[in-house]
Amino acid sequence: MAPDAVPAPAPAPAHARPGLRKIAPYWYPYTTMAKGRWLDREILEIVSTEFRDRSIEYYRYALESGVTTINGKIAKPGTIVRNGDRIENVVHRHEPPVTSRPVKILHEDQESEFIVIDKPGSIPVHATGRYFYLSLVEILQREFGYPKVYTVNRLDRLTSGLMIIGLSSSRAHVLSQEFVQGEVKKEYIARCSGEFPAEEVVVDQPLLTVDRQMGLNIVHSDGKPAQTVFTRLHYDKSTNTSVLHSHQIRVHLQYLGYPIANDPVYSETKIWGPNLGKGGIDTTPSDDRAPPVAPAHLVGTDTADSTRVPPQSDPGAETSVLPSPQLLPRETGKDIGMGSPVPLSAEAVGVITRLRNMKDEDEDWSRWRDVVFKAKGRLHPTGMPGQKLPPQNRRKRGGPAWADADKLTDTPSDEQQRQQQQSAPLTEEEALAILDPASPPGENPLLRVAPPPDAPTECGRAKQAAAQITVQEENDGALYCGECYLPLHPDPSPERLYIFLHALRYTTSLGVFETEMPEWAAKGWQWERSS
């Protein structure tokens, strides 16, 4: 839940692309207690292996900026996390847009304490990553007025369709057991690539999750038993796609050689190669690992600076920093497979590596000026009250850790005063000098001057230039956030926010529930393809 000190964000400006739902960026404090698996590890290693939203360079710059504290003291990349540590991080949260299609309540039974909804594709079920207010749980509570909701079945963010939501924990537990024990009949609609066989196809192949951060599953002999029955509804020659009725499983479709047509994971040749994983991949264990390779247009730039923070020693400090001459697991590739229940093959490692790289590359165009993090540490979170850390024996696990700065009565120590001075807001001239010392301050290029396109290919440079123009058109001429100076992204097309997979019908002990057919399942339906 969001701390009470954080107000609900305002809607995005009216010039957002049609078909999208956006909210304005807002300052948000994350607070957590150190988890057991984090103890005695560097904080950069922790965040770079636990989270996958950004590249390791992004996390290093963020930590060097000073916005993360441990027990009230600024944490650096090499800071060691100890038992009992409270970690706090203030970020200017830019939630990605979701579809403007509304969440629909299909059935409500207050007596039996559950509702049935139709979830649009692109909306995550729970707050995760960069999503909070645009998650399903928050929408149901804030916009529909349900005081508390308990999810029963889960749909991936990109998947649309039926979900059963408990209005009490006891009802949710009973319904969840039905799903776990296989007592619920689930029916899905999918649009896959190619001309699927006209006859019914049954796939019996066990599935295994080998990378939870990437949400990657493969066919593997050590996986859980899974069976999917596919029936073709129709074939569209113009798009060379088939609409199917099934009992789900994206991975089984890929295994057959008919991946979901717009699936960004299982239908991407850059990840799986020209065969797209048809027939499964090799599962022979291998210890081969390779470090991630930065995109060519970033090699040699200041954004690739991986200089370590010098070792620090402060016997009186609550936190400690150790020298780190060795590379971190994510920098060597050794972290790939750390979360897998089985040893990975070289082919599986390659798939995960390419999937990570593709996700990083999708973000990299906005890292032309990643040096903004060197300025971010001195930015003041607008409207965010000051911190006052309670005594260690009174610290709560999670929840808000914020107090009104005007009510602080303790006299700050010399160290606290020094940190406050370091965190003073930057003037426009100071921020500009950090970003581009050669730029004249009077023209305020901080927000509006575009870096020259520097992709390695002419096509890539053209896309960068087009993205700059689009961003300026969508943000009143600005290329960077006026509060945190992060580069802004162009709005995605609505067609790229979901995949052609829809939960159509569930048969449960409480009845049979279904949605309307998704529009993309109609004969002759066309969509905007990515170039």
List of residues 6+ apart from 125 with CB closer than 8 A: 119, 135, 136, 137, 151, 154, 155, 157, 163
Closest residue by Cα to residue 268 from 193, 188, 344, 208 = 193
Pairing, β 160-166 against β 501-508: parallel
Please give the structure tokens belonging to residue 264: 């960004």
Token pair in block for residue 155: 């749909």
Name which of 249, 158, 151 is nearest 207 in CA terms: 249
CA dist 54 and 479 (Å) reads 19
Angle at 57 between CA 370 and CA 77, to 5 degrees: 115
CA distance 194 to 256: 11
> Any residues with CB less than 8 A from the CB of 5 and at least 6 apart, and which?
29, 384, 385, 400, 402
CA 346, distance to chain mean position in Å, is: 26
Residue 285 Cα distances to 93, 267, 281, 329, angstroms? 40, 24, 12, 19
pLDDT at 73: 87
- Among 189, 150, 171, 224, smallest CA distance to 508 is for 171
Q: What is the pLDDT along the chain (531 residues), one digit of tens a residue?
A: 444 445 566 766 656 677 899 998 887 877 889 999 999 999 999 988 887 666 677 778 778 777 788 998 889 999 999 999 999 887 778 899 999 999 999 999 999 999 999 999 999 999 887 889 999 999 999 999 999 999 998 899 999 999 999 999 999 999 999 998 989 999 999 999 999 999 999 999 999 999 887 788 999 999 999 999 999 999 999 999 999 999 878 999 999 999 999 998 999 998 999 999 999 999 999 988 877 766 554 454 443 333 333 333 333 344 444 444 578 887 788 888 877 899 999 999 999 888 887 776 665 544 433 434 444 444 444 444 444 444 555 545 444 443 333 333 344 455 544 444 444 444 445 544 544 445 444 444 456 767 677 777 888 788 888 888 998 888 888 887 777 767 788 888 888 899 999 999 999 999 999 999 999 999 999 887 765
The structure tokens 């960068």 sit at 464
End-to-end CA gap in the chain: 39
In whole angstroms, give the CA distance from residue 476 to residue 479.
9
Identity of the residue numbered 340: S
**Which residues are registered as beta bridge partners of 164?**
116
In 10 A of CB 221, how many CB atoms?
10
123-158 burial code (b ≥16 CB/10 A, e <16): bbbebeeebbbbbbbbbbeeeeebeebbbbbebebb
Q: What is the pLDDT at residue 477?
A: 85
- Rama region for 27: left / alpha / beta (φ>0; ψ in -120 to 50; rest): beta
Of 21, 165, 188, 156, give the one whose Cα is nearest residue 106.
165
C-beta of residue 353 within 8 angstroms of C-beta of residue 336: yes
**Hey, how many other C-beta atoms are within 10 angstroms of the C-beta on 215?**
13
CA distance 160 to 520: 12
CB 400 within 8 A of CB 384: no
Instruction: Region of 423 please: left (phi>0), alpha (psi -120 to 50) or beta.
Output: alpha
- Kindly write down the DSSP assignment for every residue of 369-407, as one continuous string: TGGGHHHHTT---TTPPPB-PPPGGG--SSS--B--GGG
Neighbours of 487 (CB within 10 A): 20
CB 192 within 8 A of CB 266: no
- Cβ-proximal residues to 510 (8 Å cutoff; 6+ apart), any chain: 109, 112, 114, 175
Using alpha carbons, list the distances in angstroms from residue 165 to 274, 334, 516. 40, 39, 19
Residues in CB range of 90: below 8 A, 6 or more apart: 27, 28, 29, 30, 67, 381, 384
DSSP string for 503-515: EEEEEETTEEEE-
Q: Which residues are catalytic?
A: 156
Between the alpha carbon of residue 200 and those of residues 196, 233, 237, 245, 436, the distances in Å are 10, 10, 20, 10, 62
| Helices H / strands E in the chain, number of each | 13, 21
